[in-house]
Amino acid sequence: MQLENRVIMVTGGGRAIGRCIALRGAREGAHVVVLGPEQPELDETATEIRRLERRALALLADVTREEQVQAAAARTQNELGRIDVLVNNAGIVGPTAPIQQLKRDDWEKVMAVNLTGAFLCAKAIVPGMIEQRAGKIINISSVAGKQAYPLRSPYAVSKWGLIGLTLTLAKELGPHNIQVNAVCPGPVAGERMRLIIEQRAKELGQTPDAVERTYLRTTALDRMVSEEDVAATVVFLASSAGDNITGQAIDVSAGYGL
């Protein structure tokens, strides 16, 4: 029980990696708050958390709306007493296209969710962490935030920016005993990756199987990672084992891009 009685807030906690992190946290003893734009999936995740005999809040919130984020943080403080860990997981894939074909609205939407949302959530919870002189912020970035990612410039830039936010906050908040790190998944097996592969195949005029093989060949281990792999790393950083780790962008990528 690495996280017993800690309070974790997970954005985008109703599905995919976010849901996996929320449930893994509960299995490790944490009380969990899940935020997201779809109430039914949040409620489903919260129900699973309660079956693990942990407290859960399912809060409908758009991370791009500061007033909604602030309200979620305030409700968590009121009902659970504190926030020990913030996991900024909310993110969208965005378009797959060369830059000359991108629409500004698409660019700005990706930045708003993937980067500004993390900023707003951190802004909302940091005062409480400073007051309690302890806390952890874990940003879910990507290996796309460390290298070129042709045809995916909005997504890549948002993830590069998220690493920049991580490093800056680690230095800024260190004196308050707050650790800030990023987890950088490589290709994660699942529905979302399937859609990315299909979009890329269409843009390149290739088959999805060919594009998938390209992704796999780019990894050292010739495989994708799982949502559980990402969640396990988040739990490690959120636990006392991660108390002296800050300002790091840790790959969970099967050796992608080596």
Residues tagged active-site: 155
Among 216, 57, 233, which Cα is nearest to 141's?
233
Which secondary structure element, helix H or strand E, spans residue 178, and what is its range?
strand 178-185
> Rounded to the nearest 5°, which phi and psi values hold at 122?
-60, -45
DSSP 113: I
- Paired residues of 46 in beta bridges: none
**Cα distance between residue 77 and residue 72, in whole Å:** 9
Which secondary structure element, helix H or strand E, spans residue 5, and what is its range?
none
Q: Do 227 and 183 contact (CB within 8 A), yes or no? A: no
**Cα distance between residue 86 and residue 33, in whole Å:** 9
The distance from CA 227 to its chain's CA centroid, rounded to whole angstroms, is 11
**Cα distance between residue 149 and residue 23, in whole Å:** 31
Count of alpha carbons within 13 angstroms of residue 225, beta-carbon side: 26
Please enumerate in sequence order all residues whose Cβ is within 8 A of that of 82, keeping only pairs 6 or more positions apart, or say none: 7, 128, 132
